[in-house]
Structure 1
Amino acid sequence: MTSNEPASTKIFASDTKEIANHGQQNKESSSSEDNLDAESLAKTENSQVFEVSKEGPNFRGVGMYGAAILIAKSQLGLGVLGLPSTLNALGFLPGLLSLTCLCLLSTYTGLIIGKFRNKHPHIYCIDDAAYMLFGSVAREVMGWGFWLFYTLCYGSALLTISIAFNSITEHAVCTVIWVVVGAVVSFILGASIRTMRVLSFMGYFAMSSILLAVWIVAIACLTQKVPAAAPEGEPINKMIRVAASGARFNTVASAIAIQFFSLCGTASFFSIQAEMRDPKQYGRSLLMGQALVMFNYIVLAIMIYAKIGQYVASPALGSAGVLLKKIAYGIALPGLFWSSFFTAHLAAKYALIRILRGTKHLQSNTKIHWITWLGMIAIVSAAGFIIAGAIPFFNNLVALTGALVGTSFTLFIPACLTLYELGHHKHHERDSTLTWIKHSWGELHHHKFTVVLSIFCICVAFFICVGGLYGAISSTVEAYANGTVDRAFSCANNA
């Protein structure tokens, strides 16, 4: 159209006036269409995922403190139970340094997510951000990755619930039965709760139950002269090491992946912000939630490991003896169930939005809405049950989950979002998806620290992904080979 106008003018000189007039009309028409496209795109990118509506479920009801609880609980649920054992694998100083650095990095990338979504409020999940970065293929990969991540987390939660019931009842029934109980309860609660507003109210009780249980165990460990897990009649060697020497690579990589898993709640931050009444308050919510997480992670890991060393259990609630383990798991059960249906909720909600986004059924109590929601919850519940039964050990499952998909959500994608914003700070091309890579590199001399930090996050993500995946898989193979764990879907006691 307009690009052919000058050539036509040269070739058909005798019709210059007519062609010029025709070209001007086309140019005006093309300009009008471009303006409409630009306005349509701007309108789409500046619109929130959920509208404020009095009809149907309230998907915009989460306040600042409620969001802080959701952020903290999305991290604390299962992660805190595996951290003390990582100091035993890595050594005190390397383990503490690794944990502190990962906490700071996850806080930094969490702030990036909030800042980016405030500029692009149409984003609901990590897949929308991946689409802006790398195109439609990346959207599908990250979308399925998000669903898989929280389905794996759901499986980890079911596994922990089975450990809790086995601990409380002294393995009264087959372990698979306890997994089924956890799955049924989680399905009923998950199916009936569709908004994070309700989940945030319940999160206060869930957070309190988990923290109370872990602190009871930590204080009990401090008061015991002899670690509860120490063998009777044998010399006690806690093997508290400043730095682990001679540790195998798969052990170190798996321990780092477990620490990383405890901070992979970053994957849910887009979704939490999307359901806030005022998304611009997200930054405050994140800092409050992360401060609570960092304090408890670091202090509890130090207290438990420094007192009992190699006799630390994983999950950590079993570190203070049989009686206290029963008490702690009994107190923690509400938090464990909350973690199970929260992770199921995130996976199912993502699928619901991908299917119903842009239709009247997304925020309405229609038959299609309910069929889709219940169907997605049922699929997640079934998949999580299979995962919990097929990988019946806690440490390797959380390490596998953190390494396989958590790295992309917590480090890789947020780091790329920073580079994307730098690349589009002075350049706004939309003709090529990856133009931001070239332009962000060109901004290096203006934003050296930001670019270097982003590249560092990407490198750490690749290391944890490859190393943690190798460590988790090799440890799993060894566990099956040496009989440490029984077959899949076993009735054996996993407490």
Structure 2
Amino acid sequence: MSEKSAYKSASPDPEPAQPSIPYSRWAAIFGGPSVTIGPRIAGLPDFVKNDLSDSEDSSSAIVNKQIAAEDGTDIQYRTCSWQKTAGLLFSEYICLAIMSFPWSYSVLGLVPGLILTVVVAATVLYTSLVLWKFCLRHPEVRDVCDLGQILFWGKEWAWWGTAVMFILNNTFIQALHVLVGAKYLNTMTASDDVGHCRTVMFSVVVTIICAIGSLPRTFDMMSKLGTASAIFTFISVLLAAVFAGVQGKPSLYDPSTLGEPLVTAFPVKGTTFVNGMSAFLNISYTFIGQITLPSFIAEMRDPRDFPKSLWACTIAEIFVFSIVGAVVYAYSGNQYVTAPAFGSLDLVYKKVAFSFMVPTIIFLGTLYASVTARFIFFRVFRNTKHVNSHTVVGWSSWAGILAVTWVLAFIIAQVIPFFNSLLSVMSSLFDSWFGFIFWGVAFFRMRTADKEAGRRHSPVTDWLGIVTNAFLILVGIFFLTVGTYASVQGIIDSFEAGAVGGVFSCATNGI
């Protein structure tokens, strides 16, 4: 039986008695050893069941077996502490997309923008906790594709559909970093003669650098690079906010034509639905990153500690995104704000602040490439020596998978060569599923499993969960339909207005 069809025929096994650890309601929110793991949604697939005895607890035993299987091997995967996982989360979320917040606030108005920032952060925190609880029940899950198949009743089409969206989402993010890398190099060399087709050339350079940076095969190594990346990003956005205040007036300040910087608490009259939706999608995209979380949890030595990483990252996100977005917008105003917001700074300030973003431009793209490569690699070489040993076949296959994803990313970056619209497209097409719909469905599947196992919940908590998760599914459908329309229309409007160059344009895209 293939791995993809294994879940279909498996029937849920009754959940064994949990270890005698005191139950804590707080553990369901903050994690720790007292977490109560709920009953499985689907039965154990054959490739896992064959390694377990009837007396073993199906959740903790799987993790223990995975760790034991790696003892003494060259390449080990379940090695991340919650601190290292937090480093991965910081590197994923404290990213370049923060610099789209000033533009989003200029469209939405400062008050709705700040409120949406907190609401979206709280929503992502909640859905990430739902995801974590689901992964605890199914620790054999290695990525969101495994999870997607279990969620939708073990159907093979669910695995393939999730896999396609998973790979496309990650490749689009890689493309975003190719685009921004070329934007950075164009900005830094604006006065230099570097050739006729500078943007395509710079995109090739960034693609090659990122492909090389993707080569590490474990998240243990990537977490160290990710922590450094997050620190540099924090310095970059902090400098952008400080420089915006120091210079006083935004770049290209022209009071006779555009007037003084206008900062509004609410959307200005004439704000179009397409622009408003795009601004909302930009904020949502920056927070929504649940697509990688199953992969991160799968490499934790103790997955019960994951919420510690999640809370630390979410709190930091709210403060950093809100403060940087509001400060830069306050000094740039509606007329002078750009996306990314480095374009609102004077030349020297812009170059300094933008330069600290370079590690993130490179690393975050490599992180998503690594997640994609890991997904494909484990499917091809599961239960072979190439997974845990340094073999020519293993390393050449790993490098080949990475090369293909980066070539695709390069092409996408040339076809959709503008920052805001690329963010909006990714948010509407993929975040609708991986930010909302999946986790609403996960709640209802876990609720059904709990009822069948006789686990009781407070009526108030139960109804609140039903209403909340039904709403999340509706929000996801709204993103997928209306959001996609707004994103595509925004791209059409940008091309018609001549605001961007054409496909594979040689013209500079510097800010």
> Given the two structures, how large is their TM-score scaled by the length of structure 1?
0.86
Q: 1: CA distance between counterparts of 2:44 and 2:105?
A: 58
Q: Partner of 1:251 in structure 2?
A: 275
Q: Are 2:93 and 1:84 aligned? A: no
Q: Partner of 1:273 in structure 2?
A: 297
What is the letter of the counterpart of residue 348 of structure 1? Answer: A
Aligned pair partner of 2:356 in 313, 331, 339: 331
Q: CA deviation at 1:444?
A: 7.5
Q: CA deviation at 1:107?
A: 0.8
Report SS of the residue matched to 2:117.
helix
Residue 474 to residue 218, structure 1, CA distance change in 2 (3 Å):
same
Q: Are 2:77 and 1:54 aligned? A: no
Aligned pair partner of 1:71 in 89, 96, 100: 89
Q: Are 2:161 and 1:141 aligned? A: yes
- Report if the CA contact (8 A) 2:244-2:332 is conserved: yes
- How do 1:403-418 and structure 2 match up within 5 A? 403-418=428-443
Give the fraction of aligned pairs with identical amino acids, expressed as a percent: 24
- Report if the CA contact (8 A) 2:90-2:226 is conserved: no
Q: 2: CA distance between counterparts of 1:37 and 1:391?
A: 43
Residues 49-89 of structure 1, C-alpha deviation per residue, up to 9 Å, x if partnerless? 67433312221222211111211221222321211111111
Q: Are 2:316 and 1:298 aligned? A: no
Q: Partner of 2:390 in structure 1?
A: 365
Aligned pair partner of 1:466 in 481, 503, 511: 481
Unpaired runs of 5+ in structure 2? 1-42
Q: Partner of 1:222 in structure 2?
A: 245
Residue 235 to residue 421, structure 1, CA distance change in 2 (3 Å):
closer
Q: 2: CA distance between counterparts of 1:487 and 1:40?
A: 54
Q: CA deviation at 1:446?
A: 6.6
Residue 240 to residue 42, structure 1, CA distance change in 2 (3 Å):
farther
- Report if the CA contact (8 A) 1:165-1:171 is conserved: no
Q: 2: CA distance between counterparts of 1:228 and 1:486?
A: 22
Q: Partner of 1:356 in structure 2?
A: 381
What is the letter of the counterpart of residue 487 of structure 1? Answer: G
- Report if the CA contact (8 A) 2:339-2:420 is conserved: yes
Q: CA deviation at 1:266?
A: 1.6
Aligned pair partner of 2:115 in 97, 114, 122: 97
Q: 2: CA distance between counterparts of 1:225 and 1:374?
A: 48
* Moved segments of 4+, more than 6 Å: 34-39, 442-446
- Report if the CA contact (8 A) 1:123-1:270 is conserved: yes
Aligned pair partner of 1:260 in 275, 284, 303: 284
Question: RMSD of the TM alignment (CA)?
Answer: 2.6
When the two structures are aligned, how many residues end up with a matched partner? 451
Q: 2: CA distance between counterparts of 1:448 and 1:212?
A: 44
What is the letter of the counterpart of residue 353 of structure 1? Answer: F
What is the letter of the counterpart of residue 292 of structure 1? Answer: A
Q: 2: CA distance between counterparts of 1:116 and 1:344?
A: 25
Q: 2: CA distance between counterparts of 1:171 and 1:195?
A: 41
Residue 307 to residue 43, structure 1, CA distance change in 2 (3 Å):
farther
- Report if the CA contact (8 A) 1:168-1:329 is conserved: no
Which structure has more helix as a fraction of its residues?
A: 1
Residues 112-137 of structure 1, C-alpha deviation per residue, up to 9 Å, x if partnerless? 11122112101111111111121221
Q: CA deviation at 1:455?
A: 1.1
